[in-house]
Structure 1
Amino acid sequence: MGSWVGKVVHRCITMAIADFYAANPHYTTRIVINTKDTKGEPLLALSAALELLENTKVQAIIGPDATVESRFLDLLEQKANIPFLSFATSTLSNKNPYFLQIAQDEATEFKGIATMVQSFKWKNVVLICENTANGRQMATYMFSAFQEKNIPVAYTSLISTSYSNEQIREELHSLQNMQTTMFVIHTSPSLSSKLFFMAKEVGMMGEGYVWIVTSKTTNHINFMDAETIKSMQGAVGFKSYFPKSDELRKFNSKWRKEYHDLNPIMEMKEIDSNGIWAYDAVYALAMAVEKVQTTVMGTSLLDQISKTNFHGLGGDFKLMNGKPISKAIEIINVIGKGDRRVGFWMVDGEFVKEIGKTNLFSNRGLESIIWPGGTATIPTHRMLQMNGKKLRFLVPVFGAFPSLIQMAVDPTTNRPTVSGFCGDVFNVAYNALTYGVEIEFVPYLYEHGRTYGDLIDKVYLEGYDGAIGDITITSNRSHYVDFTFPFSDMGVGTIAQNGKKSMWIFLSPLSADLWFTSAGFFLFLGFVIWFIEHRTNEEFQGSTKQQIGTTLWFAFSTLVYAHREKLQSNLSRFVVIIWLFVVLVLTSSYTATLSSLLTVQQIASKGGEVQFQSISHVGVPVFNNVQLTKGVMTPLFSPGDYVQALRSRKVSAISDEILYIKSVLALYSAAEFSLVSTASTTNGFGIVFQKGSPLTTKMSSQIAKLRGDGTLKALEDKWLKQQSSMILSKDLSTPPPTILNLNGFGGLFLISGTSMVLALLISIVYILRKTLWKRKLEIMRSLLRRSPEIHPQDNDVEPRV
C-alpha cells in the first residue's frame, strides 16, 4: 500500500466501486472493499489473505502484481475455492480454475520482440532479467521465443534487486567486454532505472546500441522521474495497449484530479495499466455479484466472472480459460521527456501502424525511431570504439613455430605485434574492417602443463576478447568460445623421411622369393616346350647350343609376348596360354608397384611406429578419426624435434595438423622429407572470440574473401612454401605401396606349374608308348626272317598279327 503502484490500484478500485453503482443505482447488491497491506512480502500476503478469509469472510480477492505473492495466494485459493483476480502478467502454469489472470500475458509480448529483432536481422541478443524465481522463468520463455526465430541468445544476465550501483556497473562492464550491443531488459521499474543510469554512465547508451524494454517497465513509465527518462533515451519499449474511447478520456480527466490529490507537487500523469485493469476487474466483479444474488440461481461467482463480457476502460473485457483475450501491444520510443508511439504488435504476428489496418510496416516502418546516441539510422553492426576501449587478444607462444605465429615489439609504437601465417591472416582480415580500435596482444607463454584448452578457458573466464594463433577448432571448445571460419587446411598430414634413392629400385616391386620363383618357372617352361617340340619341330632342333639358345629365347620372350617360334603340339599351346595369363598378371602388378615407388620413396624404417605430434593441444581432438594400427603420443615442440625423431629412426612417420607439417617442410630439405598423406579429420585453425562477439561473423566474412581472392594462398606461400614435396594419397588410411611376394601369386604359379607338369607327363607317356611300339615291331620282323616256313618272296610282307 505504501508503493506508488499500490496507491494507484487502491484509488482506482475505490473509484470503480463509486462509478459502477452511480451508473447502476437499481442494483440491489453492493461490494465492500477490505484492504490488507502486504508490504511487498509474500508471507505477509499469505497471512493477510488468511485473515480476510477467516475473519472477514470475503467472497473474492484481488491480488498483487508480484508473481511470487500471486503464487502464494494461488495455493491458498486451492483450499478456499473463491475467485482470485491477479494482476500478475507472467505466464503461469496454473491449473486452479479459481485463479483468474486479469492482466495481459507477457508471452505474446516476447514473440513480438523476437519478430522485431528478426526483421532487423540483429543477432547475438543479451537478455537481462531479475534474479528471482519469476525472472529466471521469464528468461526461459524469452529464450524459447528467440530460439523459434533462430536468433542466438549470447548471454542471459540475472541481476538482483539488492545489487548496489557498483555491482550493476561491474555486470554492465562484463556485458560491454562481450562486445554485444543488442539488449532486451525484463525487470521491475526500479531495477530498470538503476540499469539505465549505470548503462549511460559506462557508455552503453551511445550510438550502435539497441535497448528493448518489456511492459514490466514501460507500463509504469508514466511514473518515472525525468532523470530516469533521460537515461533511457533511444530505448524501444513494448507496452500494454488500451484503445481510445470516451470512457477512457473521461476517466483520465477525473484521474488527473485524483492524482493531484495524491501528489500535488508532482506533474500530472496518465493512468497506468494496473489502474485500468483494477478498474475493469471491479466492474466485472460487481456485475457478477448482482447476477449471482438476484437473477441466476445455482450459479457460482466464478462462473459469472468467467462469463462476464463488457467494454471497459481497457477495451473489451473477456476471460478465456482464466486469462484475458489477447490484445494488441503498443510499441513506444523513449525520447525527450516521455515516450512516443511508433506502432503496434498484433496478436496475429504483424507490425502495423494503426489498429485495424493490415499494412505491414516491418523494419521500414520503424525508420522514425530515434536510437541511442540520437541517431535515426538503424543500428546494423557493432560500434567497437567505446570510450577508448582496447580489444585484448591472447597469443599462444607454445613452441618454435615462427612460421605460424610469433610476437615482436614494433619499434615505432613500442607495442607488441604478431606475425607468421596466423598473425598475418588476423592482421589483414581485421584491418579490412576499418574499425580503428586498438588491439592489445597478450602473450600466453608455455609453462609446464599448460595446454591450448587452458588458453580457451582463459578467454572464456577472464574476459579476453579472443585469441590468435595455431588453435584447432573443436566441438568441445565451441561450447565456450566462438571460432571464425577455418583459415588453414582442414585435417592432418603425415610426414616421413624419404628412403634413399637406389639404382636397383626396379628390383624392389618383387620380393626375392618371387624373383627366383619367376625365373625358375621361365626355365621350366622353356624345358617343357623344348621337350614337347624338339622331336618334330625343326625350330627347336640343331646343335646343342642352338637348342639351348632357342629354348631360353622362347621362354623369356613370353614376358613381352615377343616369341615367334611356331608351336606344333597342342600340349605346348595349352601350356603357353596358361603361362601368358600368369605373365600378364605379374607384369601388371609389377608396373603398378614400381610406379608408386618411383612417385615417392618407401618410408625408410619399415619397422618403426607412427609418431603423433603432441603438446596436449592436439591428441584426442585431432586424431579421433585417424585409423592407424600403432601410435604413440610424444611432446614435440619445434620443427627440430620432428626432424630429430625421424632421423633417429625411432619412428617411421609423424602425424599432425597439416600446417605444422608444412612448417617443418618449409625449414628442412624437401629431398629428405615428404608429406606422404593427408586426411580431413579436423576442422583446421580458426581465430577465437568471446561467445556472442559480432566480430566472429565479420572476421569470417573477411577470411572467406581472403580465400576467394587468393590472399590466403599468398600468405601461406610467404610463410610455408614447399619446394618439392608431393602428396602420395588423400587418405591417411591408405597404406604405402606393398612389395609383391610369392604368397600373393602362389595360386597362379600352382595352376601354371600343374599345367606344365601335366603336359610333360603326357608327352613322356606318348614318347614311351611310341618307343615301345616301335621296338615291338622290330622284334616281330626279326622273328619272321628266321622262320623256314616263310617263303623268300614273302620276306617283305609284314605278317598279320
Structure 2
Amino acid sequence: MKPIACVSIFFVSICFICLAMVSTTEPVKLVNVGVILDIADEWIGKLCLSCIQMAHSDFYATHRYYSTRLVLNLRDSKSDLIAAASAAVDLIKNVAVQAIIGPQDSREANLIIEMCNKARVPILSFSATNPSLTSPRNPYFYRIAQNECAQAHAISALVQAFEWKEVVPIFIEDMYSEEAISCITRSLQEADVRVSYQAAIPQSAVDYQIVQELQKLNNLTTRVFVVHMSPILGSRLFAIAREIGMMRTGYVWIVTTEMTIQLASLSSSITDTIQGVVGVGAYFPKSKEFQDFQVRLKLKSQQENPTIIGSELNVYCLWAYDSVTALAMAVEKAGIKEFGFQNTSTDSRNTTDFEMLGVSLSGPQLGDSLVETILRGLSGDFSLVDREINSPIFQIINVFGDGKRVVGFWTPKIGLARKLDSTRTNTGTGTYSTSKSNLGPIIWPGDSSSAPEGWDLLANGKKLRIGIPYKTGSFSEFVKVEYVDGNDGIASGYCIDVFKVVLQALPYPVSYEFFPFRHRDYGNLTSSYYNNLIQQVYLGTIDAAVGDITITAQRSLHVDFTLPFTGNEATFIVPTKQENKKDPWIFIKPLTWELWVTSFCFFVFIGFVVWVLEHGVNKESRVPPSHQVDTSLWFSLSTLVFSQWERIHSKLARFVVIIWVFMGLILTQSYTASLTTLLTVEQLRPTVTNINQLIQNGESVGFQYGSFSLEFLRRMGFDDSKLRAYKTAEECDRLLTMGSRNGGIAAAFDEISYLQVLLSRYCSKYTTIGPTIQTQGFAFAFRRTSPFVPDFPRAILNLTERNKDIMKAIADKWFMNGSLCPQPSSVDASYSLDLDSFRGLFVLSAIASSSALIIYAAAFLCRRGREFMQFYSNDSLW
C-alpha cells in the first residue's frame, strides 16, 4: 500500500472517531420554535413556508456539529386575528416554544406581541413592517424586515429629483397605514413638498367608493400620487384609475414597498393597468447563493405549489430564510443549558389560557444573542439595530412592459445613484444627491419619456387665484382697481402689466382671476397690510399675490418670491428751499472763506516778493521804512490791476508777476462765473441734510401706510411718536408742506419707486437725501409649493435682460411725467468755489516766488556783500 493512501485512511479514521465521540458525549438539544403563517396566502404564506423549511435543512446540513437543533412547529393563522392569537397561546402554553417566527400581518403581530412580552418569548417577523411594533414597550419583538418609515426618505428624494412641489398620498384607512403615511408626509414636508390632501380608502371599499375618491383627486391641480396599499386593493385602484383616464400622460404614480415587493405575483392583466408606475422597492444583492437558491426553490415549488411558480422571488421569502438562519445561530451561540418555562399561576380555576402562560427562562438570553448575531444572508448583510434589520438601501423601479426595471438606487448616505458603488455606499464618500440625472430613463404613464410637470392648473377649468392690493388713491400707478357698472373690478397699473407680460412669456397658458383685497379686510394694523396679504397666500386662500409687494426676510418664511422686477433702494425725501437772491453779501458766496483767506495771504506775499526784487533797481520802491508796508501792498495791487502803469525792471520780478497775473486771471474769471450763476440760476437746497438732524431736532417722519418702512425707521432710532403714516402721494405732499412743527412731517421714507412718483408730480419741490437703504424690490409671491416658482423667475429674467424695451414701454406708460422733472441729485448742486479747486495754482505761485527770492538773495550776497556791509557800516543793519 502506498504511503499517501495510508495517511488518508488514518485521517478519515480519526474524523469518524471524533464524530462518534461527539455524538455519544453531547446529545443534540431540540429547541421548539413556532411558525405562524397564513397558509392560504400563496405568495407569502406558502412561499415563505417553503423558504423556512429550506433554510432549516440548508443550515443543519452545513452545521452538523451544532449541539442545538430547531424544531419547527407550524400553525395556520387563516388570516384571522383570533386564530393567530390562539395559535400563539397554543405554541407557548402547550409546545413551550422558545421563539416564534411570524406572523405575516402587522395587526396579527401587534396582538401576539403582548403574549410574547408576557411570556418573554422572542418573536421574529419577516413581513410585519408597521413602525410602531418596535417600540420600547415591545422588547421581545424583532423585525427581520424593513420598517415602512425607512422608505420615506427614498420617496422624498424621488419627488425632489423631479422638482414636484405637491403630493397626495393614497392609503388604506387603518391605523397601521396611517403611521406609514405620517412618516412619508413628514419627510416630504421637510423637503418643502406640500401634502395638500390625503385620500384614505377603506379596505372593504367597493368600486363606486374608489371612483368617488379618485374623481375628487382628479379635480385637484396635483398630479403626483403616492400609493401605500396592499397589492389586492392597489390593483383595483389602478384598474379604476385607468378607466376614468388617470393613467394617461401628465400623471405620476409612486407605489411603496408594500406593493412593489409583490409585483411578481401580479397577473399580466394587472401589470397592464400600472404601466409607467414608479416605485420604491427593497434591495437585495443577486449573489450566486441567491441564484442557486432560486433554482432549488423553483424545483421545490413545482412539486409542492405549482400555482405559485414565478420568475422572481419576493424579498419576504429571503427575510424568512434569514430569520431561520439567524435564530439557529443565536440559539447555538447563547449556550443555554436548559430550555424551559416557569409557571406564574398556580390556580387554574377561573383563569384564561392567556393568564396561565408561563415565563420563558431562556428568553432574555436568547434575545441578547440574536442582537449580536451577524451573518451574510440571502437578503444581504444581516445585523440588527434597535431590534430591526439594518438594510437601508432601496431600489427605484419602473413598471414597463411585462415587468419592472430598476432605474436607480437610494441610500441614506449618497442619496440617488444610477449604480451602487460598494465603496461609496459603505463609507458615505461624496455628497448627498437628489438629482434626476442619477436615475436611468423612466417611461411614465401614457408611454411618455418626458417627466410630468406634476400639476395641471387647467383641470376642470380651474383658474389661478391672484390677490392684489386695493388701496383707493394710494399710488395707483402701481395697482389700480376700478369698479364700473357693478362689475367685479378691473385691475390695471404697472405691476399688473408686468404680470401679464410675464404670463405671456411662460411656455404654457395660464387662466387666472384677480381678487382685490381692501384695507378693511385685515383690520387697522398700520404696518401689516402687505404682511396679511402674504398670509392669505400662505393659508391657501389665494394662489399668489401680485402688486407693489416688497421682498422681506420675514415674508419669505411663508411664501416663495419671484425675482424682483423693480429697483431695490429706499431713501428719504425732504422739501427744498430757495436761496435768497437779494442777500447784500451775495458777492462773497462765490468763494469759500478758506479761499478768501488764502488769496489775501498770497496777495500780501506776492507784494512783498515784488518789492524785494524791485528794491535795488527801481527807485520808485525806495521810500522811508515807515511806508514800506503800504508801498509793497500798493505795488502788488498796482502790478495786478494796473500793470500797464507801473514799470518792472527786475527779470525775477517779471517772472513772479507773470505767474501772479496768470493766477489772478483764473481767480477773477472763476469768481465772475460763480457770481453770475448765483445771480441767475434758481437755487434749491434741502431743508434737511441728514437723518441725524431729523432725530436730534425731534422732527416727524412719514412712511407709507402698510409698508415695511416702519420697521426700518424704528431700527434707525426714530421714536414711534414721531412717525406719521400716509396713504397717498397727495397726503404725503400735504404733510411735507405743513412741516413737522405744524402737525406734518419734515421728511418721508419710502422706496425709490414710490418717491419717483412723488417727484414726478411735484417737480423741484422735493429732493432726496441719504442714507440709501438696500431693499429687494417688488416681486410676485406664490405658495411655497406652487409649480410656478421655478418658471416665473426665468420668465422675469428673460424680460429684464433680453426684452428691456417691453419693460421700458410699461414704465413709460405709467411714469412718463418723471422724465420731465430734474433729477434730485442736480438740484442740490453747490456753486461756491473752494480752495481745493485752486490748490495747484497757489502751490505753483508759492514755488515761483520763493525760488525768485532765493536766487536774488544768493546773487546779491555773492556780488555785493562786502560793499553792502561797508556802505551801511555807519547806519543800522536794516
Q: TM-score, normalised by structure 1?
A: 0.66
Conserved 8 A contact 2:768-2:825: no
* Aligned with 2:315 (options 263, 266, 273): 273
- 2:261 corresponds to which residue? 219
- 1:798 corresponds to which residue? none
* Aligned with 2:405 (options 338, 341, 354): 341
**CA–CA distance in structure 2, aligned partners of residues 546 and 269 of structure 1:** 126
SS at the partner of 1:723?
A: helix
- 1:136 corresponds to which residue? 182
- Unaligned 5+ residue runs, structure 1? 145-151, 559-563, 567-579, 731-735, 741-801
- 1:402 corresponds to which residue? 476
**CA–CA distance in structure 1, aligned partners of residues 585 and 213 of structure 2:** 76
Conserved 8 A contact 2:210-2:237: no
Conserved 8 A contact 1:132-1:160: no
**CA–CA distance in structure 2, aligned partners of residues 506 and 37 of structure 1:** 114
**CA–CA distance in structure 2, aligned partners of residues 557 and 180 of structure 1:** 94
Counterpart amino acid of residue 435 in structure 1: Y
1:479 and 2:557 equivalent?
Answer: yes
**CA–CA distance in structure 2, aligned partners of residues 600 and 698 of structure 1:** 50
**CA–CA distance in structure 1, aligned partners of residues 216 and 774 of structure 2:** 39
**CA–CA distance in structure 2, aligned partners of residues 555 and 53 of structure 1:** 129
- 2:868 corresponds to which residue? none
* Aligned with 1:238 (options 261, 271, 280): 280
- 1:33 corresponds to which residue? 73
**CA–CA distance in structure 2, aligned partners of residues 50 and 472 of structure 1:** 69
Question: How is 1:507-518 mapped onto 2 (pairs within 5 angstroms)?
Answer: none
**CA–CA distance in structure 2, aligned partners of residues 155 and 565 of structure 1:** 97
* Aligned with 2:813 (options 718, 730, 748): 718
**CA–CA distance in structure 2, aligned partners of residues 599 and 106 of structure 1:** 80
Taking structure 1 as reference, are residues 436 and 468 closer, same or farther at Cα in structure 2, changes over 3 Å only?
Answer: same
* Aligned with 1:652 (options 725, 730, 746): 746
- 1:663 corresponds to which residue? 757
SS at the partner of 1:33?
A: strand
* Aligned with 1:282 (options 324, 333, 342): 324
Deviation of 1:248 (Å):
2.7
Per-residue CA shift, 1:719-757, capped at 9, x if unaligned?
223135566679xxxxx89999xxxxxxxxxxxxxxxxx
**CA–CA distance in structure 2, aligned partners of residues 72 and 623 of structure 1:** 65
1:124 and 2:165 equivalent?
Answer: yes
**CA–CA distance in structure 2, aligned partners of residues 613 and 454 of structure 1:** 18
**CA–CA distance in structure 2, aligned partners of residues 504 and 194 of structure 1:** 96
SS at the partner of 1:696?
A: coil
* Aligned with 1:694 (options 782, 787, 790): 787
Conserved 8 A contact 1:284-1:305: no
Deviation of 1:426 (Å):
0.8
* Aligned with 2:396 (options 309, 331, 338): 331
- 1:155 corresponds to which residue? 194
Taking structure 1 as reference, are residues 472 and 190 closer, same or farther at Cα in structure 2, changes over 3 Å only?
Answer: farther
* Aligned with 2:574 (options 492, 496, 500): 496
Deviation of 1:430 (Å):
1.0
Taking structure 1 as reference, are residues 628 and 599 closer, same or farther at Cα in structure 2, changes over 3 Å only?
Answer: farther
* Aligned with 1:58 (options 75, 81, 97): 97
Deviation of 1:406 (Å):
2.2
Deviates most, 339-348 or 125-134: 125-134
Counterpart amino acid of residue 397 in structure 2: I
- 1:436 corresponds to which residue? 509
Taking structure 1 as reference, are residues 4 and 327 closer, same or farther at Cα in structure 2, changes over 3 Å only?
Answer: farther
Conserved 8 A contact 1:238-1:330: yes
Deviates most, 20-29 or 232-241: 20-29
SS at the partner of 1:31?
A: strand
- 1:790 corresponds to which residue? none
- 2:297 corresponds to which residue? 251
Deviation of 1:99 (Å):
5.3
**CA–CA distance in structure 1, aligned partners of residues 635 and 215 of structure 2:** 94
Deviation of 1:345 (Å):
2.2
SS at the partner of 2:810?
A: helix
Taking structure 1 as reference, are residues 44 and 382 closer, same or farther at Cα in structure 2, changes over 3 Å only?
Answer: same
**CA–CA distance in structure 1, aligned partners of residues 244 and 579 of structure 2:** 70
Conserved 8 A contact 1:614-1:636: yes
Question: How is 1:363-512 mapped onto 2 (pairs within 5 angstroms)?
Answer: 369-379=442-452, 384-400=457-473, 401-407=475-481, 418-447=491-520, 449=524, 451-500=529-578, 502-503=580-581
Q: How many residue pairs align between the two structures?
A: 703
Question: How is 1:193-204 mapped onto 2 (pairs within 5 angstroms)?
Answer: none
Q: TM-score, normalised by structure 2?
A: 0.61
Question: How is 1:542-621 mapped onto 2 (pairs within 5 angstroms)?
Answer: 601-604=684-687, 609-621=699-711
Taking structure 1 as reference, are residues 331 and 678 closer, same or farther at Cα in structure 2, changes over 3 Å only?
Answer: same
**CA–CA distance in structure 1, aligned partners of residues 456 and 198 of structure 2:** 25
Conserved 8 A contact 2:417-2:439: no
Per-residue CA shift, 1:343-366, capped at 9, x if unaligned?
4527676755899999x9x96796
Per-residue CA shift, 1:40-66, capped at 9, x if unaligned?
98x999999799667764311335577
Deviation of 1:236 (Å):
0.5
Taking structure 1 as reference, are residues 717 and 213 closer, same or farther at Cα in structure 2, changes over 3 Å only?
Answer: same
Counterpart amino acid of residue 406 in structure 1: K
SS at the partner of 1:717?
A: helix
Q: Cα RMSD (Å) of the superposition?
A: 6.7
Per-residue CA shift, 1:152-176, capped at 9, x if unaligned?
4322468485789999989997998
Taking structure 1 as reference, are residues 277 and 457 closer, same or farther at Cα in structure 2, changes over 3 Å only?
Answer: same
Taking structure 1 as reference, are residues 10 and 324 closer, same or farther at Cα in structure 2, changes over 3 Å only?
Answer: same
* Aligned with 1:86 (options 119, 125, 141): 125
**CA–CA distance in structure 2, aligned partners of residues 509 and 277 of structure 1:** 103
Counterpart amino acid of residue 717 in structure 1: D
- Unaligned 5+ residue runs, structure 2? 1-35, 172-176, 340-361, 425-432, 641-645, 649-662, 833-878
- 1:753 corresponds to which residue? none
**CA–CA distance in structure 1, aligned partners of residues 629 and 784 of structure 2:** 88
SS at the partner of 2:254?
A: strand
* Aligned with 2:383 (options 314, 319, 335): 319
Per-residue CA shift, 1:46-102, capped at 9, x if unaligned?
999799667764311335577798789889878866543233557899799965432
**CA–CA distance in structure 1, aligned partners of residues 587 and 700 of structure 2:** 23
Taking structure 1 as reference, are residues 387 and 551 closer, same or farther at Cα in structure 2, changes over 3 Å only?
Answer: same
Taking structure 1 as reference, are residues 453 and 8 closer, same or farther at Cα in structure 2, changes over 3 Å only?
Answer: same
* Aligned with 2:729 (options 639, 642, 646): 639
- 2:876 corresponds to which residue? none
**CA–CA distance in structure 1, aligned partners of residues 700 and 214 of structure 2:** 50
SS at the partner of 1:683?
A: coil
Deviates most, 458-467 or 242-251: 242-251
**CA–CA distance in structure 1, aligned partners of residues 44 and 259 of structure 2:** 17
Per-residue CA shift, 1:697-732, capped at 9, x if unaligned?
2111111122213233442233223135566679xx
SS at the partner of 2:73?
A: coil
Taking structure 1 as reference, are residues 201 and 289 closer, same or farther at Cα in structure 2, changes over 3 Å only?
Answer: same
Provide the identity percentage: 26
Deviates most, 73-82 or 384-393: 73-82
